Amino acid sequence: MPQAIPLPSDLSPATVANTASLLRIIALSLISGAAIASRLFAVINFESIIHEFDPWFNYRATRVLASKGFYEFWNWFDPTAWYPLGRVVGGTVYPGLMATSGVIYYGLRALNLPVDIRNICVLLAPGFSALTAWATYMFTKEMKDESAGLLAAAFIGIVPGYISRSVAGSYDNEAIAIFLLMFTFFCWIKALKLGSALFGTVAAVFYFYMVAAWGGYVFITNMIPLHALVLILMGRFTSRLYVAYSSWYVIGTLASMQVPFVGFQPVSTSEHMAALGVFGLLQIVAFTQLVRSHVSSKQFQDILFVALVSAGVLGVAAFVGLTYKGTIAPWTGRFYSLWDTGYAKKYIPIIASVSEHQPTAWPSFFMDLQFLIFLFPAGVIMCFHQLRDEHVFVIIYAVMASYFAGVMVRLMLTLTPVVCVAAAVAFSSLLDTYLDAHEPEPEASATDSAASVDTGKKPKKEKAATGSALADLVAAATPTKKGDAPKFKGVYGTDTRFMIVMNAIAMLSFFVFHCTWATANAYSSPSVVLASQNQDGSQHIIDDFREAYYWLRQNTPETAVVMSWWDYGYQIAGMADRPTLVDNNTWNNTHIATVGKAMSSSEEVAYPILRKHDVDYVLVIFGGLLGYSGDDINKFLWMVRIAQGVWPEEIQEPNYFTPQGEYRVDSMASNAMKNSLMYKMSYYRFSELFGGGQAVDRVRNQQLPKEGPTLDVLDEAYTTENWIVRIYQVRKEDLLGRDLKSANAFAKGKKRKRSKPASRRRALSAAAST
């Protein structure tokens, strides 16, 4: 058969197949290497440190697991978190991540390789990203073929949308959850294709692992039933579907209830009812099919049809009734806010205040996915062309994930895998068409399929990673062509093919450059350590956070309680090792509101709260000197809102604005603002820095009054080099039982006003009037 490009023809099919699989293995290992390497920017630029906030708690929990063993970890009660309520960690945490690290740690020790637990935690995410690439390869292989699989693996290995949550040091649940997500989906598709209960069981076991690892498992819990339902509605019910879904559902749900944090939710909350409903529906449909195979009477079929419909209606009615009565819990706030986006801001300010929960801006789609985002719809449409069962799954996944990614920035992460898969399908189809070496005969005769032949294009991908250049191999193996009459449409000229293929390679190169740039600059910051540039261009490290936490660690008694806003709770617990009042777990809204009230009230109101909770130190973040905009004065309104939710008569948000409605911190600030503890703590002695000149807050760009605030109930304990973290010590009650303000005034030398003996009339008149 004529070939556009001359190919070797003396290779046996076995050699070809072996070479192809060898190339594939090499490609996958290089992709894994690239995935791991591109996540190491933070480790090399800064150091091997846990990033951000949430990972610090996971790291502490893993340390407990590593030092005390699994049994103690499972029953761990942390008395230093949420002082004095404590936190039952064993029952309120997703243990999958810690258990994974623990297993690796113990495994390595059994091999006599004592690796420090911190290094395991830091490098866990890159390691699992390599596994994610492999799982995506397997998944896409089921969709199309191995070449698409390799493309998808390469894409997800370096795409910024996934890297942002899995750099080295980002020790969070998503690090292993995405791998489990893709692998569970792969097992599900495989189970569906084969109709095998074994793959269904494996899918259920990995689903259990996913439930143990991440709260986003609800996505799988609803995606798979939705897929099954759509297949039924399309009329594609088969026994394979029945086998796969039933085995997955029963084993998976039973296993998922073993995780204490999940408990009985799978049978009592709305988020899990879809799976149960589809399960019931499947049983009914299967039974119907079975009966129908025995009986051919049309009337009987009609009765059965009626019975089926009424059963379905009854089921829905029962669900609605039970939800109304309360037996089935309605959608929890976190998930309900995905449907009603205005809900959280009104009713659950804590959820609304998290920056990751804000809607996604358009530029982030391009930033995270680059050219994959416009290949994505093309890939979905190609799925419509083929429309096997698994393609239906990709379509549903794509639609749902697109919606969720638009609602919350954080959920870009669930969109990324399906974008990689669909884009890989589209790109691979493109390459297939233009790399296919066959040309049709000039005569209109049907050509039969021949053995697959290799084409020898090996585009290189260059990476500007940490100095080392890694080459990636993409070997496109042409699938066997089905015999069909060649129409004379198509591009068969070599020059045209060359241009298209070169263009495709250029797009891939740009993709690589973009991913590396985005990873290096935007997603590799540990956010515990900040970096800026000096005037001569050298890097200036701002290490104020650690400076303050280590001051606390070395200069305060071990039982000293630290109050700060909940953002920093995990870091204080992890680095300073002191009890904290509230932390990022945000499980107790009233406790957080109490801290908010203390921060936003005057000293007289805040002091009893501080004493009641045994607070010894208060910590605030202040960015006014440096221009660090993530400080507590910017978050202050959220503190007010959350406190207002619990004490609406004491704290009102409008009081903190000027009468014109502006949020000001200079001399025009409202009284409530000026007297609040947060304002005083942030600007205490700030004007002294300017030596008599005007004090300027660089973040708000406002000038502060010359007379700074005074503090009566707190003593300044420590302020870091760039004034980012300020720590204050709470004064104990006055020796003579006075209120602290008068005690301070006396200590400064002011005299009290003369008073007279009190009137004795009061008691009598009160008695007379009643």
Helix, strand, coil: what percent of the chain each, to 5? 60, 5, 35
User: What is the smallest separation between the CB atom of 614 and another protein, expressed in angstroms?
Assistant: 8
Nearest 5°: CA angle at 496, between 493 and 497?
85
Q: Which residues, other chains included, contact 209 with Cβ-Cβ below 8 Å and sequence gap of 6+?
A: 96, 180
Pairing of strands 530-533, 87-88: unpaired
Rg (CA), the chain: 32
Q: How far is CA 551 from the centre of its chain?
A: 31
Q: Which of 702, 711, 720, 705 is nearest to 620 (CA)?
A: 720
List C-alpha distances in Å: 464 to 123, 148, 174, 513.
Answer: 21, 25, 26, 7
User: What is the smallest separation between the CB atom of 600 and another protein, expressed in angstroms?
Assistant: 20
Residue placing its CB nearer to another protein in the complex, 388 or 674: 388
Question: How far apart, in whole angstroms, are the C-alpha atoms of residue 321 and residue 326?
Answer: 9
Contact assessment for residue 476 and residue 487, using Cβ atoms and an 8 Å cutoff: no
User: What is the smallest separation between the CB atom of 262 and another protein, expressed in angstroms?
Assistant: 12
Q: Compute, in degrees rounded to 10, the torsion defined by CA atoms 722, 725, 730, 731.
A: 0
Residue placing its CB nearer to another protein in the complex, 239 or 555: 239
Question: How far apart, in whole angstroms, are the C-alpha atoms of residue 224 and residue 237?
Answer: 14
User: What is the smallest separation between the CB atom of 449 and another protein, expressed in angstroms?
Assistant: 20
Question: How far apart, in whole angstroms, are the C-alpha atoms of residue 531 and residue 527?
Answer: 9
User: What is the smallest separation between the CB atom of 649 and another protein, expressed in angstroms?
Assistant: 21
Residue placing its CB nearer to another protein in the complex, 153 or 275: 275
User: What is the smallest separation between the CB atom of 266 and another protein, expressed in angstroms?
Assistant: 9
User: What is the smallest separation between the CB atom of 237 and another protein, expressed in angstroms?
Assistant: 11
Residue placing its CB nearer to another protein in the complex, 203 or 724: 203
Place of tokens 């129409």: 487
Residue placing its CB nearer to another protein in the complex, 5 or 322: 322
User: What is the smallest separation between the CB atom of 151 and another protein, expressed in angstroms?
Assistant: 26
Q: Which of 628, 601, 637 is nearest to 722 (CA)?
A: 628
User: What is the smallest separation between the CB atom of 81 and another protein, expressed in angstroms?
Assistant: 10
- Cβ neighbours around 554 below 10 Å, total: 8
Residue placing its CB nearer to another protein in the complex, 325 or 762: 762
Residue placing its CB nearer to another protein in the complex, 96 or 417: 96
User: What is the smallest separation between the CB atom of 765 and another protein, expressed in angstroms?
Assistant: 8
User: What is the smallest separation between the CB atom of 477 and another protein, expressed in angstroms?
Assistant: 22
List C-alpha distances in Å: 174 to 119, 168, 188, 216, 690.
Answer: 18, 12, 20, 9, 45
- Cβ neighbours around 165 below 10 Å, total: 21
Residue placing its CB nearer to another protein in the complex, 195 or 215: 195
Residue placing its CB nearer to another protein in the complex, 195 or 459: 195
Question: How far apart, in whole angstroms, are the C-alpha atoms of residue 265 and residue 28?
Answer: 39
Residue placing its CB nearer to another protein in the complex, 25 or 303: 303
By CB atoms closer than 10 A (0-12, 13-18, 19+), residue 365 is buried
User: What is the smallest separation between the CB atom of 37 and another protein, expressed in angstroms?
Assistant: 37
Residue placing its CB nearer to another protein in the complex, 22 or 307: 307
Place of tokens 């203390």: 598
User: What is the smallest separation between the CB atom of 20 and another protein, expressed in angstroms?
Assistant: 22
Residue placing its CB nearer to another protein in the complex, 9 or 296: 296
Joined tokens for residue 255: 């296993």
Cα maximum dimension of the chain: 122
Write b or e for each residue in 92-131: b if 16 or more Cβ atoms lie within 10 A of its Cβ, otherwise e.
Answer: ebbbbbbbbbbebbeeeeeeeeeeebbebbbbbbbbbbbb
Residue placing its CB nearer to another protein in the complex, 79 or 693: 79
